[in-house]
Amino acid sequence: MKVDMVMPQMGESIVEGTIVKWLKHKGDAVEKEEIILEISTDKVDSEIPSPASGILDEILAEEGETVQVGGVIARIESNKKPGKAAKTEEPQPRQKEEEYEQVSAEEDRGKVFLSPVVKKIARENDISLNEVKTINGSGAHGRITKSDILEYISSKGKEKPSGQTEKAASTFAEQTEIKTESVTVIPMDHVRKRIAEHMVMSKKTAPHVTTVAEADLTKIVTYREKAKKSFEEQHGVKLTFTSFFVQAIASALKQFPLLNSSVDGDRILQKKDIHIGIAVGLEDKLIVPVIRHADDLSLIGIAKALADLTLRTRDKKLNPEDVQGGTFSLTNIGTYGNLFGTPIINQPQVGILGTGAIKERPVVVDGMIAIRNMIYLSLTYDHRIIDGLYAGRFMQTMVKLLQEFSSS
Amino acid sequence: MATSTYLEAINQALFEEMERDESVFLLGEDIGIYGGAFKVTKGLYKAFGGDRVIDTPISESAIIGSAIGAAITGLRPVAEMQFADFITVGFNQLVANAATLYYRHNIPVPMVVRAPSGGGIRGGPFHSRNPEAWFFHQPGLKIVAPATARDAKGLLKSSIRDNNPVIYFEHKYLYRRVKEELPKEEIVVPLGKANISREGDDVTVITYGAMVFECLDAAKKLFEEHDISAQVIDLRTLQPLDMELILQSVQKTSRVVIVHEASLSGGIGAEIAARISEKAFEYLDAPVKRIASLDTPTPFSPILENEFMPNAEKIYNAILEIMKF
């Protein structure tokens, strides 16, 4: 076995040494610790002992040569049996990296976090944070980085000449000349601005299509008339029609999960949880509190959750998490007797169901005209990922669930 | 133009300042006839004599204390610690006396303590440390840590001319490894000014001392392999910090990696990170990352010492991690 003899380090700052004299020659026998050469460094001159017993097999640096510390200057053929060679295993990939890969496969976690500089750039460019969240992120877990938002702004800038009206709507630029005698100027408050921005952003983000269906709610109306009094006594909350709609939506979404998704660039993020947002209109604003895991709740559970959210919405006691994380929305268009409407999608969701007023109408049942409690349902969906056929089937499932309601 | 090592540059600065100003003198262990443990003061005893190149007993407290005494009477002492590790023996003299005399009595203390510091030289726990952070915490001291031969020379000259106590950390690993052509003209590098060692737009790498070269190696590789352009800032002076340049760079890149060879916890990197988050929070696109030696004594074993210290590969990986954030 050959043992390398290296230029030793003769002091902390010394980087090289010069061979002064070899005291042994090639082929000579040497003992371990026997002095075999002299070297000179910047700091000291020194005699250097052999690192092993054996034969001086090779001299790689001649007298007068300068060698870096650690450089091989000679090899000694050791007469000892080869010892255990240190096993050098391939370094294992770091655990950390593996975890990182796993995590990055998870869906849109990074979207939740916007870095300070991204928020700053958004604010300076009049881009709402909701709009920022529609940008395709290139950072870890899909995080939107500074360069992502800058790229987004510059590509938006290029579109501007053809989209002047959009700009005016989203930035609320005030006209300079307003005749105050004929116009009352009402500055938008913070909430109104956010609502306006969100509406514009949603329309710009998703191609909206609305499908309308008609459902016979006679069974539900009859059941509710019969049960509402005892229900309120027993559970302490009112049994509203909204509870029935939420229950039907949760059930239908299980069969049509694509409507319970969001779009992230060229990926569809299909949500496993069903959280249904309920649009509650107040005097001056619109709030959409969320019933979480609606598919896990009974009709009673839904009614209780609704009562709680409605009360806290009116009392302004909602927590931030009460209005976050919705995966599908429900809005009541029929409050003042209106038949149906075409709601705007609550981003980043892809579907919203509007319910019209329940009205008694003459309809043909089994070849005879009958008076039934009828309702129009309108579904607005994101046509990027939802096709008409899929939306149509969802609606017919909704109709069936509502018409064939049974209290058991 | 002649080629000088980092060590020779320090020697030249001492020579030139002693020649320029009679009040400049040196004191330390074995710095006279022997020329210093590392030969930094080689030739100076011969040139200026035993009155101006004074061999002292092995007592850092006495060396620093004598230097303070000389400084307040109008001389400009340059005291050598054989190893920065042993500066702790004179710690009280520095932080309680030298650092506060001007505040207490309006008496300037124009002295320099030269402290050969740094690892990577197989020096073990008593001959490898980077104790700058202890002094960073004490108001009234200036701290300098050059990386290049030019800065080693120019910053030492400024330190000697400064009217405050300056601790000058010279890196032992660089002594004979750094070689540069230095101009014949006088070099004076102002204190408090950092230097951009490499221009870049994507990430700011803040460092000093021997780590400057590791950072430059990492930056070069990142550019070649990933097209990532890192701006490497060599602080040069640690107290006062050049926050203006740091913040300018952060505003441009929004990503920061701080690298120092001193141990991580309570290091100067922590203070820089805190100031960035206070003054440039809104410009950050990623958390500030610190790379430093482990919070352990410096190991004896070369293998462990390599593991203990930052190097170009670790810096390369850290920058990549921050770029991926």
Residue A93, preceding peptide bond in cis (omega within 30° of 0)? no
Domains of chain A: 2-78 (2.40.50.100), 115-161 (4.10.320.10), 192-403 (3.30.559.10)
Query: Which of A96-100, A263-267, B235-239 is predicted least confidently?
Result: A96-100
Calculate Rg over the CA atoms of chain B: 19
At B115-155, the pLDDT tens digits run 999 999 999 999 999 999 999 999 999 999 999 999 999 99
User: Which of B182, B210, B225 is the last residue before a domain boundary?
Assistant: B182
- Say if B144 falls within a structural domain: yes
Are B162 and B20 found together in one domain? yes
pLDDT at A84: 42
- Say if B118 falls within a structural domain: yes
> Are residues A13 and B324, on separate chains, in Cβ contact within 8 Å?
no
Tell me if A53 sits within 8 A of A1, measured CB to CB. Answer: no
- Say if B295 falls within a structural domain: yes
More confident residue, A110 or B145: B145
Q: Is the pLDDT of residue A154 over 70?
A: yes
Q: Is the pLDDT of residue A101 over 50?
A: no
Are B146 and B252 found together in one domain? no
pLDDT at A134: 86
Q: Residues A42, A45, A189, A387: which is the catalytic one? A: A387
Are B165 and B248 found together in one domain? no
In this complex, is the C-beta atom of A102 within 8 Å of any C-beta atom belonging to chain B? no
More confident residue, A337 or A210: A210
- Say if B187 falls within a structural domain: no
Are B33 and B146 found together in one domain? yes
Q: Cα separation of B252 and A145, whole Å?
A: 14
Please identify among residues 215-274 of chain B the ones whose CB lies closer than 8 Å to any CB of chain A: 254
At A167-217, the pLDDT tens digits run 434 444 444 556 667 788 888 887 788 888 889 999 999 999 999 999 999
pLDDT at A110: 57
- Chain B interface test: which of A12, A68, A100 (most B C-beta within 10 Å): A12
Q: Cα separation of A134 and A138, whole Å?
A: 12
Minimal Cα distance from B173: which residue of A? A13
User: Which of B154, B182, B210 is the last residue before a domain boundary?
Assistant: B182
Are B23 and B170 found together in one domain? yes
At A343-402, the pLDDT tens digits run 999 999 999 999 999 999 999 988 999 999 999 999 999 999 999 999 999 999 999 999
- Say if B26 falls within a structural domain: yes
Cβ neighbours, 10 Å, residue A367: 5
Q: What is the mean pLDDT of residues A234-253?
A: 93
Tell me if B288 sits within 8 A of B276, measured CB to CB. Answer: yes
Q: Cα separation of A379 and A206, whole Å?
A: 14
Q: Cα separation of A281 and B127, whole Å?
A: 73
Q: Is the pLDDT of residue B79 over 80?
A: yes
Tell me if B149 sits within 8 A of B8, measured CB to CB. Answer: yes
CATH number of the domain enclosing B51: 3.40.50.970
| CA distance to partner chain B, nearest, from residue A75 (Å) | 22
Q: Which residues touch A184 (CB under 8 Å, ≥6 apart)?
A: none
In this complex, is the C-beta atom of A15 within 8 Å of any C-beta atom belonging to chain B? yes
In this complex, is the C-beta atom of A118 within 8 Å of any C-beta atom belonging to chain B? yes
Q: Please report the ipTM that was assigned to this predicted complex.
A: 0.76
Are B120 and B167 found together in one domain? yes
Beta bridge partners of B115: B169
Q: Give the helix, strand, coil percentages of chain A, each rounded to 5.
A: 35, 25, 40
Per DSSP, B128 falls in state S
At B27-46, the pLDDT tens digits run 999 999 999 999 999 999 99
- Chain A interface test: which of B5, B254, B281, B323 (most A C-beta within 10 Å): B254
B127 is catalytic: yes
Query: Which of A132-136, A139-143, A320-324 is predicted least confidently?
Result: A320-324
Q: Cα separation of B204 and B248, whole Å?
A: 10
At B97-117, the pLDDT tens digits run 999 999 999 999 999 999 999
Please identify among residues 127-146 of chain B the ones whose CB lies closer than 8 Å to any CB of chain A: 127
Q: How many A×B Cβ pairs under 8 Å?
A: 52
Percent of chain B whose pLDDT exceeds 90: 99
Beta bridge partners of A40: A18, A45
Whose tokens are 């930056």? That residue is: B219
pTM over 0.80: no
Per DSSP, A169 falls in state H
- Which residue range forms the structural domain that includes residue B63? 2-182
Nearest by Cα to A296 from A255, A259, A246, A330: A246
- Say if B188 falls within a structural domain: no
DSSP A241-297: HHHHHHHHHHHHHHH-GGGGEEEETTEEEE-SS--EEE-EE-SS-EE--EETTGGG-
Are B178 and B199 found together in one domain? no
Are B42 and B114 found together in one domain? yes
At A73-87, the pLDDT tens digits run 999 988 654 444 444
Q: Which residues touch A40 (CB under 8 Å, ≥6 apart)?
A: A17, A18, A20, A46
Nearest by Cα to A48 from A65, A28, A30: A30
List CB contacts (< 8 A) between A115 and chain B. Answer: 254, 284-286
> Are residues B284 and A119, on separate chains, in Cβ contact within 8 Å?
no
List CB contacts (< 8 A) between B10 and chain A. Answer: none
Q: Cα separation of A255 and A393, whole Å?
A: 10
CATH number of the domain enclosing B240: 3.40.50.920
Domain count, chain B: 2
Tokens read off for A293? 């895991």
Per DSSP, B264 falls in state S
pLDDT at A166: 43
Minimal Cα distance from A14: which residue of B? B176
DSSP A332-381: E--TTS-----PPP-TT-SEEEEE---EEEEEEETTEEEEEEEEEEEEEE
Q: Is the pLDDT of residue A404 over 50?
A: yes
Whose tokens are 């207490």? That residue is: B104
- Say if B37 falls within a structural domain: yes
- Say if B190 falls within a structural domain: no
Are B247 and B269 found together in one domain? yes
Tokens read off for B192? 């408090």
Minimal Cα distance from B116: which residue of A? A13
Query: Strands of A45-49's sheet, edge to edge?
Result: A45-49, A35-40, A16-22, A66-68
pLDDT at B1: 62
Are B315 and B245 found together in one domain? yes
Nearest by Cα to A17 from A48, A39, A47, A46: A39
pLDDT at A87: 45
Are B126 and B20 found together in one domain? yes
Q: Cα separation of A47 and B321, whole Å?
A: 48
Are B65 and B203 found together in one domain? no
pLDDT class of A128 with cuts at 50, 70, 90: confident
User: Which of B182, B217, B241 is the last residue before a domain boundary?
Assistant: B182
pLDDT at A180: 67
